[in-house]
A and B are shown apart, each in its own frame.
Chain A
Amino acid sequence: MATPVLRVENIVKRFVTGSASITAVDHVSFTVAQGEVLAIIGPSGCGKSTLFNVIGGLAGSDEGRVIVEGRTLSGPDPAIGMVFQEESTFPWRTVADNVAFPLEVAGVARTERLKRVHHYLELVGLKGFEQHHPAQLSGGMRQRVAIARTLAFGPKVLLMDEPFAALDEQTRLLLGDKVLQIQQALAQTTLLITHSIAEAVQLSDRVLVMTYRPGRVKRIVDIKLPRPRTAEIIGSKDFGLYVAEIWNDLRDEASLGMKDAEAKLPQAE
């Protein structure tokens, strides 16, 4: 196996509410190799987004550490680029200015900035939309702007938290295709957090299945589907087998989550 770019070691995250302490993430460890796509999947409430925040440095962990290329991170770091689930483009900036934002802040020279903006907008298929504002774009296009903005900063690891969650099914498939193209063109090391089994199988090399509360690593499944891939892979027999295999692992966890949610609902008299 290639040298890991990202190493997540024994991450524990607890939340204290009043006198109770809830463990959201419990000793989670894994690695992601150069150019690899690892998807993390789990039922709602298993701590996926907490893990996203911890790896991205937006939240601290109670135990464990995040290492990128041998360097332990202690907060947000340019080595990790984050793409969020919610719409995150800056509405007051044009598409080009959105993508240029991290470069501006980092003090990259204007000529280099324009070059990179042009390159990444072309890569995500938004050439010709440079002077548009986010309000003039569709949800899928806005998410592509957010991806281009993160990639333009040149992160070692692209960390995405359910980036297609707010989009309709057809746009999700098309955007999945686009992400596959980008990932293959850049050999970008990617960590994708998702609750969609199909999305995880379509995009990744390995799928890490998490348990429901506390979030632990239940199993890691190798996806041995051929690359380069397109959305057409979802029609293949092997794709279906992988989806079934992962659902088999996930079903019990999802049931626990559902029972937990139902138990919290007020009962009828």
Chain B
Amino acid sequence: MSGRPLAEAKWLPATLGLGGLASALALAELLIRLDWVSRFIVPLPSEVLVSFERIIVEEDVLSRFLATAGEALAAAFLVTLIGVALGVFLHRHRLLRSACESWVAGLAAAPLVLLYPLFLVIFGRNALTIVMIGFVSGLPPAILKTVEGLSGTRKVLLDVGRSFSLSPAQLFWKIQFPSALPVIFVGVRLGLMFSLINIVGVEFLINFGGLGQIVNELAERYDLAGMYAAICFVILVSVCFFFASERLERWLLRAS
């Protein structure tokens, strides 16, 4: 028999993923229609699908999507820039690292979104508050993973650099940083997730801004189908950032 085996086909993972999702939605549709799951708690997937047009036209969900994506982008930029820089700083200063690492790790698990009243007092009820909460909550994983990635660089790779008489700056940019990049990006991606969760959470809590606010409004109107459709847009923001971060990682690796 000629050709590649089915398991190696490039289209198979995507098809399986989409097929699995479609099957889960079909099962949910069936369970709700059979009244095994209450439609007052979970709307019919077909209703959610139909409500996309309504929330795009009537609720202007696209501008809300852009508002949340913009806030997430600003927070992501700050998380990447400041989180990675702080990680490098802590990695370079052993004493400071020993002093701070455990409470930075503690901060990663803290529900920082509950500090929103403090941020409201400092920044007011505007997008800056949302961005700052997103930034603060995304910071710990970016710092911790940067420290971990830099510490994990194999000594022999640095020895290779030294044997070629690299300067300390060249050692960092040409060897240590690219070697740590995959782990740093795990931290950045985790940071982005934490940021997005908190951004949408604060929008919901202070009833301001993008998708969090519209989810809040639709929930208060008990428009469950519309609310689930809006949540799909939150997932879309996450997917966009995930793909963008993958592209950025590949580009940085090629550049180093």
Which residue numbers of A lie inside 8 Å of B, CB to CB?
56-58, 75-78, 80-82, 84, 86-88, 90-92, 101-102, 105-106, 146, 150, 153
Assess the A105–B163 pair: CB atoms within 8 A.
Answer: no
Verify A92–B160 contact, CB threshold 8 A. no
Closest to A149 in B: B160
Q: Name the 3 nearest CB pairs between A and B, nearest first.
A: A82-B163, A86-B156, A102-B164
Contact status of A58 and B179, CB under 8 A, knowing A86-B156, A92-B256: no
Question: Which of B159, B164, B165, B181 is the one whose CB lies under 8 Å from A92?
Answer: B181
A153 touches B162 (CB 8 A): no
A84 near B253 (CB under 8 angstroms)? no
Question: Which chain A residues lie closer than 8 Å to B170 at the CB level?
Answer: 105
Main secondary structure of the interface of A (DSSP, over half): loop
Q: Which residues of B contact A80 (CB under 8 A)?
A: 163
* Residues of chain A with a CB closer than 8 A to B157's CB: 88, 90
Give the residue name and chain of the B residue nearest to A86 (CB). B156
User: Chain A residue with minimal CB distance to B252?
Assistant: A92
Find the B residue at minimum CB distance from A85: B156
- Does the CB pair A76–B164 fall under 8 Å? yes
In the complex, the answer to whether B163 meets A81 with C-beta atoms within 8 Å is yes
Query: In the complex the two chains form, is A56's CB within 8 Å of B253's CB?
Result: no
Q: In the complex, are the beta carbons of B163 and A92 less than 8 A apart?
A: no
- Asked if A101 and B181 make an inter-chain contact with CB atoms under 8 angstroms apart, the answer reads no
> B residues within 8 A CB of A91?
179
B164 engages A101 (CB within 8 Å): yes
Contact indicator B164/A105 (Cβ below 8 Å):
yes
- Those of B152-210 within 8 Å (CB) of chain A: 154, 156-157, 159-160, 162-166, 170, 174-175, 178-179, 181
Q: A84-B156, A86-B156 are in contact. Are A76 and B162 (CB under 8 A)?
A: yes
Within 8 Å by CB of A77, from B165, B166, B174, lies B165
Residue of B nearest to A97 (CB): B254
Which of A57, A87, A105: most chain B Cβ within 10 A? A105
- A84 & B164 in contact (Cβ 8 Å cutoff): no
Shortest CB-to-CB span from B162 to chain A, Å, is 5
How far does the alpha carbon of A119 sit from the alpha carbon of B31 in the complex, in Å? Answer: 67
Closest residue of chain B to A91 (Cβ to Cβ) is: B179
Q: Check B174 against A92 for contact (C-beta < 8 Å).
A: no
Which of B121-158 touch A at CB < 8 Å?
Answer: 154, 156-157
- Are A76 and B165 closer than 8 Å at their CB atoms? yes
